[in-house]
């Protein structure tokens, strides 16, 4: 809902879609075809939780890949950003996500 609220408020007109590969990998949100976002309700999310993001990254269609979770600190691994949900929301509303 926060993504929809932001894109409406910012008038970006970027569609928010769900993505699924032919092999069954999924990504929760694909915003404007550029930003892929996976959300996990986990305190210790890792790249293992980002299989859908990795699969989408291999296709080369999106430019940015974000895994949002309850992790206490931000990190980056293999081109995927791991963001605490509080950091994600702050960056979203500051215009640094979409």
CA separation for the pair 93, 40 (Å, rounded): 20
**Tokens 């890949």 — which residue?**
65
Are 75 and 66 in contact by the 8 Å Cβ rule? The answer is no
Show me where the domains of the chain are located: 2-93
Q: Is the pLDDT of residue 13 over 90?
A: no
pLDDT in tens, 61-87: 899 999 999 999 999 999 999 999 999
Mean pLDDT for the stretch of residues 15-40: 96
CA separation for the pair 35, 64 (Å, rounded): 5
Q: Which CATH number fits domain 2-93: 3.40.50, 3.30.420, 1.20.1050, 3.40.1350?
A: 3.40.1350
**Which among 45, 15, 11, 10 has a CA at the least distance from the CA of 30?**
15
CA trace torsion 98, 26, 38, 79 (10° rounding): -80
């Amino acid at each position: 809902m926060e993504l929809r609220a932001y894109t409406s408020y910012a008038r970006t007109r970027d569609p928010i879609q769900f993505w699924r590969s032919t092999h069954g990998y999924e990504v929760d949100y694909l915003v404007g075809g550029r930003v892929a976002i996976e959300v996990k309700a986990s305190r210790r999310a890792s790249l293992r939780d980002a299989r859908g993001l990795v699969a989408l990254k291999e296709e080369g269609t999106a430019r940015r890949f974000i895994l949002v979770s309850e992790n206490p600190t931000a990190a980056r691994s293999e081109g995927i950003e791991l963001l605490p949900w509080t950091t994600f929301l702050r960056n979203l509303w500051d215009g640094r996500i979409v």
